[in-house]
Structure 1
Amino acid sequence: MPAALSVDKSLTLARQAAKKQDWITAYRNYKAVLNRFPSNKKAAKAVAELSKVAAPALLKRAKVEQDNGDWKAVNDLLRAAAFFAPGVVEIRTVLAESYIESGNPSAGLPIIDKLLAAEPNSALFHRIRGQALHELDRPDEAKKALRKALEIDPSYAKAHRAIGIVARSQGDLDEALSHFEAGLDITPNDANLYRHVVTLAPPKNDQDPHIVKLKGALAALGADNPKSIPLHLALFEALHKSGNREAAFSHLSKAKAVVSQQHPYDFQSDAVVAAFSKAQFSDAEWFQQEVKAPRLIFVTGLPRSGTTLTERILSCADDVQACGEQMIVQRAVIDLLGDVRQRKDPKLNHQDIAGLRESLLAAYAKISDGRSVQIDKMPLNFRWIGYLVAALPEARIVHLNRDPQAVAWSLYRHLFKGRGHDFMHSPEDIARFMILHRDLMAHWRKVCGARVFDLSYSELVNDQVTATKALADAVDLDWSDAWLSPEKATNHVRTSSVLQVTKPIYKNSDESWRVYESQLAPLTAALGQAGLISPEKVS
């Protein structure tokens, strides 16, 4: 870590930044002073003077980034705004929401609880609290909070949508549909609610009232308008369900094109981080002998490769807590890399790994429900496997492998929140990211050896007994017949896979892309050019 600046130097940099309206730099320097010297009068006075100017400007910029889906920028801006004006309720409200949306609900919940203590009859605060509890895998408490929001304001469409999402995550599709439809009755132009409704109640033909209304809304807004993205996606789902595949795909490709233009994928950033990580873990010296009795199991792979199904299977074992997709590892590793890359000799040391271990164990302890084993199924944790194996020798790493065309199609047809998924919007970017994944996994297998267990999705769905017994052995859990019926598991599923994993295993899902085979020719060509599929598959 670089040496801390002197107080005078920090104050000078803060004043210079404030003159340029660089509020983030001003915030960081004033905060550095007050963290070390809370009673420093110069810093405290300057912060008070800036509160009327800096806080509104930061809040305004945060709302712009919120619309753009850049939650990291939102969090940075709002933390600065809250520093300058800690008493402004709107800032704290949006900050709580941004924490929840960016995968850090444990940071958002205390903020919203304080706001509720001051204003217990706020439907808004109860709704945000419900969403935080949902993300923390506390669905029953989430429903209670959301029902309180609806009790206060029965016409609160966002609360209906939120409680519908919680009900769906628990497999109660009838309750979910009733709330989505209730929300639509209140806000009949909400495209996101249409998507939920048509997914659960598929339209029978193109004349379905929902499709007609969506087309009318799209015509009024304009097909290329960024605000049309939810409409295109809703029409894709509706027309896909009704069987009009050509029209459905046209709306999906338009949505993806608009998103890609709005949020172009920065491949270089991902490539640099991957290269840096491979350089840090260039051999097996970091990796201790594995320890039995695992406390943590990490299920990784490309998104849409079967991680949710695998978590659900593992949750059938006794004393296992399914934690869903947590941002814990990414936040901890990114923070560590930020420190390491500032050094003159940017290399990890054993103290870094010890600190990472302490940070990870503390974070997982916070979300523990007391069971002895926790599963984190964040797919993109494949990027941090070396860090995990080094810091947590008792952990088990499961990596999913699935047919590249099936994965690529599933990536393309979905839109995940957050800027970390910008690679999903074009065939070329999907292929580039899949190459990065392939190459990084080859490195982790080389240096981590048997610490990484590769699980074939195809084998998992076609030869359940053999695959699940091998999985149980790899993670040191006791196998039972329950592992063959993951649809009966009761864990809370918050991902888009919920409708699949709450049904018996479907063996032909790897072939679902074929209904769009002609439209997916560019994607197939990109995969072939990348060497991810054999040349004979590229027509």
Structure 2
Amino acid sequence: MTSPESAEPTGSLATAIAHTSRLLAQNPALAEEQATEILRVVPESPEAALLRAMAVARQGRRDEAEGQFVALLKRLPDYAGAWFELGQFHARAGDMESAVDAVRRAVKEAPGYTQAWLALADMLTVQGKTDEADAAFARHIATSTNDPNLMAAATALVENRLPEAEHLLRAHLKQFPSDVAAMRMLAETGGRLGQYDDAVALLEHCIALAPGFDAARHNLALMLNRNGRLLEALDHLDFLIGKDGNNPNYRLLHAACLSRLGRYEEAIEAYERILKVFDGHPQSWMSYGHALKTVGRQEDGIKAYEKAVAIAPELGEVWWSLANLKTFRFSNDQLAIMEREVKREDISKEDRFHLHFALGKAYEDRKVYSQSFAHYEVGNTERREELQYSAEITSGLVARSKELLTADFFAARQGQGSQAADPIFVVGLPRAGSTLVEQILSSHSMVEGTMELPDIIAIAKELGFKDGRKGTGLYPGSIAGLPADRLKALGEEYLDRTRIQRKEGTPFFIDKMPNNWLHAGLIHLILPNAKIIDARRHPMGCCFSGFKQHFARGQAFTYGLMEIGRYYHDYVDLMSHIDRALPGRIHRVIYERMVEDTETEIRALLDYCGLPFEESCLRYWETDRAVRTASSEQVRKPIFKDAVEHWKNYDPWLAPLREALGPVLSSYPASPFV
């Protein structure tokens, strides 16, 4: 029996359809009855058939709803609205691959379908396909405005002509300063250009003008996350989740922010809540695996990674995440799957080079070194094509630093800077033993281990330092004119920025960003009482270990044997110069000595840090703490010697590395720069 409200529709078909559509959100059962009545009168109505399928889906009758969607699209395969709603149906069920396929079909049938482009961008973001998501988002912007100037800017954004898009949008906002759509577009342009501070400011202004502009607020949370302003990002995400708790993009970003804050147990709970609803999201399983691995739940992490590749075997990052556990060994079946997937022509470049790195590790474990090196070499080559790194820029920075940072320069500034002694910096190259040093020190009751903190590099950028993609800037010459109060303020700024990472209330904490060796002089000037530890490993072992490691970000010099050799050479050169200018300021830990005489080296390390000896530092592997780096599983075991000369298995292919290292190799562990 039908209810009085669902009596046979009267008036025009359009009126009846509109009424059914309104009912859909309030009472899907009633909407189903109304749609059925319309179809009884007008059996061929596609709108009524679609509304009925949507109403059935909202009542939880999934199989029945899917059958209705399929039947409708079999009859009308070019019905973009039905493809879009089928995509939403799959997304709510956690089947993101099917959702993306359906929404792609929607925009193929209707290229101007603004809402579908936005949904596609969100879905691709969930899958971690950021380049495709950016392109879809740009198409969403391009189709959402009729203003000719904005359309031209949107077209430039879609085609990645970013300077042109920026120019057009700034001109438009001069004339229409409150156009929030244009602000959001300009923020998107700025984000792609790496102008994150400008993008954040634009988006903050945008939501101040339009607090209900949820898409802009989500973009702001993304930018804040990239900028390391994690608590602010969480505030906006809490607001969005309060409005739409079922949006997986909001919840995934929320969990990622918790992980970056070191709140791993909360992050794990957040991923588990997401996966209860969206258990078909391979990217969610991967992120869940990352968090589990970090807190030492290796077996659970492996299960999560394996669940991800069972859903999407082409996801190279997941295979590399398994390889990156270092202690994990691939089965023959898994090796065969990776070999199959890497040969596919339809996978992304990112998936392909991740697969090559994983295959390099798989064959390394099997002692098939020629095949292992071949995969490492291809993976590095393909990754290097995605980056812009110049060894000359690093060498130039080292030369300018040596010229400026003399003993007289430091003596003239003695006693300046913040006098706090809290930070312990561990610098050097990746894969040189810095995580081992951190684990030993954080086993002490007075020391907290944090992570590779970006804050010294951020402060250096404020002073004119730029990475290889943006030129050399003014740094380090800009340091010379800083007055005493500014040096102190920068030290205090560093302490303020890093306070968010300190949770244990210990007197000392560790910042193990390896790249901070480039800024050892700056660290001394703004924090003269901070400790600086240089973790150093044999150049061949260290550099080759870096070459076969895929880093998530920030180590662009590692993807070529010549480049990483030059980088190591420059690092030894600058550290030797600092040793001469500031004798005894930096404590050096030679990895091979730590392996041979662990207790003596640990006692010397604690003495340098002014820490009383504690037995727990000798049994560092028993310390239960989160470890985020590639060595996370290795430092949870007693020190091992196998890796010290492992590079020799690859010696036939390492001539470019030996050539780039030059005298640094023959002098090790001493320095040729004396």
TM-score by length of 2: 0.66
- Of 226-235 and 484-493, more deviation after overlay is shown by 226-235
Partner of 2:335: 211
Distance change in 2, residues 1:237/1:508 (3 Å) = closer
SS of 1:221's partner is coil
Distance of 1:55 and 1:292 partners within structure 2? 43
Distance of 1:486 and 1:271 partners within structure 2? 36
- Structure 1 spans left out of the alignment, 5+ residues: 1-17, 31-41, 66-71
Partner of 2:316: 191
Distance change in 2, residues 1:304/1:97 (3 Å) = farther
Larger radius of gyration: 2
Q: Retained in 2: the 8 A contact 1:296–1:395?
A: yes
Partner of 1:533: 665
SS of 1:454's partner is strand
Q: Retained in 1: the 8 A contact 2:354–2:550?
A: no
Distance change in 2, residues 1:440/1:94 (3 Å) = farther
Partner of 2:579: 445
Q: Deviations over 1:190-213 (max 9, x none)?
A: 122222345564135xxx222222
Give the aligned length.
493
Partner of 1:165: 290
Q: Which amino acid aligns with 2:311?
A: I
Distance of 2:288 and 2:366 partners within structure 1? 27
Partner of 2:263: 138
- Of 267-276 and 365-374, more deviation after overlay is shown by 267-276
Q: Which amino acid aligns with 2:574?
A: L
Q: Which amino acid aligns with 2:657?
A: L
Choose which of 375, 384, 387 in structure 1 pairs with 2:510: 375
Q: Deviations over 1:69-118 (max 9, x none)?
A: xxx71736743662574465445445544554576645644443343333
Q: Retained in 2: the 8 A contact 1:105–1:136?
A: yes
Q: What is the CA distance between 1:389 and its match in structure 2?
A: 1.5
Partner of 1:335: 462
Distance of 1:378 and 1:99 partners within structure 2? 21
- Of 330-339 and 441-450, more deviation after overlay is shown by 330-339
Distance change in 2, residues 1:53/1:523 (3 Å) = same
Partner of 1:463: 597
Q: Retained in 2: the 8 A contact 1:280–1:347?
A: no
Q: Retained in 2: the 8 A contact 1:336–1:356?
A: no
Distance of 2:563 and 2:185 partners within structure 1? 37
Partner of 2:483: 349
Q: What is the CA distance between 1:378 and its match in structure 2?
A: 0.9
Distance of 1:467 and 1:342 partners within structure 2? 33
Q: Retained in 2: the 8 A contact 1:75–1:95?
A: no
Q: Deviations over 1:306-360 (max 9, x none)?
A: 1111010001111321111110111012112369769999733323312211211
Distance of 1:340 and 1:525 partners within structure 2? 31
Q: Which amino acid aligns with 1:532?
A: V
Distance change in 2, residues 1:262/1:366 (3 Å) = closer
Q: Which amino acid aligns with 2:506?
A: R
Q: Which amino acid aligns with 1:47?
A: P
Distance of 1:76 and 1:464 partners within structure 2? 45
SS of 2:393's partner is helix
Partner of 1:79: 200
- Of 454-463 and 239-248, more deviation after overlay is shown by 239-248
Alignment of 1:508-519 (within 5 A): 508-519=642-653
SS of 2:535's partner is strand
Partner of 2:392: 268
Partner of 1:252: 376
Q: What is the CA distance between 1:43 and its match in structure 2?
A: 7.3
Q: Which amino acid aligns with 1:481?
A: E
Distance of 1:44 and 1:61 partners within structure 2? 17
Q: Retained in 2: the 8 A contact 1:287–1:448?
A: no
Distance of 1:228 and 1:346 partners within structure 2? 46
Partner of 2:181: 52
Is 1:398 the counterpart of 2:398? The answer is no
Distance of 1:406 and 1:379 partners within structure 2? 16
Partner of 1:430: 564
Q: What is the CA distance between 1:273 and its match in structure 2?
A: 3.4
Partner of 1:317: 444
SS of 1:508's partner is coil
Q: Which amino acid aligns with 2:665?
A: I
Choose which of 472, 476, 496 in structure 1 pairs with 2:606: 472
Q: Which amino acid aligns with 1:523?
A: L
Q: What is the CA distance between 1:451 and its match in structure 2?
A: 2.0
Distance of 1:348 and 1:294 partners within structure 2? 21
SS of 2:611's partner is coil
Distance of 2:482 and 2:406 partners within structure 1? 12
Distance of 2:190 and 2:654 partners within structure 1? 38
Distance of 1:219 and 1:444 partners within structure 2? 48
Q: Which amino acid aligns with 2:389?
A: Y
Distance of 2:302 and 2:350 partners within structure 1? 27
Q: Which amino acid aligns with 2:489?
A: G
Is 1:412 the counterpart of 2:547? The answer is yes
Q: Which amino acid aligns with 2:632?
A: V
Q: Retained in 1: the 8 A contact 2:417–2:487?
A: no
Distance change in 2, residues 1:517/1:293 (3 Å) = same
Distance of 2:381 and 2:375 partners within structure 1? 10
Distance of 1:154 and 1:473 partners within structure 2? 50
Q: Which amino acid aligns with 1:357?
A: G
Distance of 1:291 and 1:477 partners within structure 2? 21
Q: Deviations over 1:117-136 (max 9, x none)?
A: 33333333222222222222
Q: Retained in 2: the 8 A contact 1:290–1:451?
A: no
Q: Which amino acid aligns with 1:512?
A: H
SS of 1:134's partner is helix
Distance of 1:319 and 1:26 partners within structure 2? 55
Q: Retained in 1: the 8 A contact 2:282–2:311?
A: yes
- Structure 2 spans left out of the alignment, 5+ residues: 1-152, 157-161, 466-472, 669-674
Q: Deviations over 1:385-422 (max 9, x none)?
A: 1111121123111111211111111110112122x311
SS of 1:231's partner is helix
Q: What is the CA distance between 1:531 and its match in structure 2?
A: 1.7
Distance of 1:109 and 1:223 partners within structure 2? 33
Distance of 1:378 and 1:436 partners within structure 2? 17
Distance of 1:98 and 1:234 partners within structure 2? 30
Distance change in 2, residues 1:345/1:457 (3 Å) = closer
Is 1:176 the counterpart of 2:301? The answer is yes
Q: Retained in 1: the 8 A contact 2:531–2:586?
A: yes
Partner of 1:6: none
Aligned CA-pair RMSD: 3.4
Q: Retained in 1: the 8 A contact 2:294–2:626?
A: yes
Q: What is the CA distance between 1:492 and its match in structure 2?
A: 0.9
